[in-house]
Amino acid sequence: MAHQAEPHLTYGVRWELLPPPWEVNGLQASPSVNLGQLFDQNVANAKQGIGYEAIQPISFSLGGPANHGSGFYGFEKTDFCSAHFGGLHASI
C-alpha cells in the first residue's frame, strides 16, 4: 500500500482583538499626551527646522485598569488581515 502526501494551501481572513497591555500591580504610568500624535508633530517640526522646545512637556499619571485610568492605547477591535494555512495532507 502506497502513501502519498499532497501539499495544500487555504486562504482566509483573520480578525484580531488586540487589548492594550497593562501592568497588573497598579504601577502603570500613562502619558498626558497621545505619543503617536506627538511623534508625528516632532517629525513635521523637524522638517521645518523647529526643535523640541516647540512641543508641550509630557507628564505622566497612574493609568491602566488597576487605577481606573487610560491604557497605553485604545482596545483595537478593527484589525483584519489575511490568513493562510499550509501543510501536507496525507492520503492512503
Query: Does residue 47 sit within a domain?
Result: no
DSSP run (H or E) holding 62: strand 60-62
What is d(CA 12, CA 6) in angstroms, rounded to the nearest whole number?
Answer: 20
If one counts every other C-beta atom within 10 angstroms of the C-beta of residue 62, the result is: 14
Q: What is the pLDDT of residue 87?
A: 55
The pLDDT mean for the chain works out to 79
State phi, psi for 65 to the nearest 5 degrees: -60, -35
Q: What is the pLDDT of residue 47?
A: 94
Q: How many domains does the chain have?
A: 1
Query: Does residue 10 sit within a domain?
Result: yes
Instruction: Report residue 91 as a C-alpha cell.
Output: 492520503
Pairing of strands 60-62, 29-31: antiparallel
pLDDT digits (tens, 9 = 90+) for 35-70: 889 999 999 999 999 988 888 888 988 988 888 888
Residue range(s) defining the domain that contains residue 21: 4-31+58-91
Query: Does residue 39 sit within a domain?
Result: no
Overall pTM > 0.75: no
Query: Does residue 9 sit within a domain?
Result: yes
Longest dimension (CA), the chain: 78
Query: Does residue 16 sit within a domain?
Result: yes
Q: Percentage of the chain surpassing pLDDT 70? A: 77
Residue 8 predicted with pLDDT over 70:
no
Query: Does residue 26 sit within a domain?
Result: yes
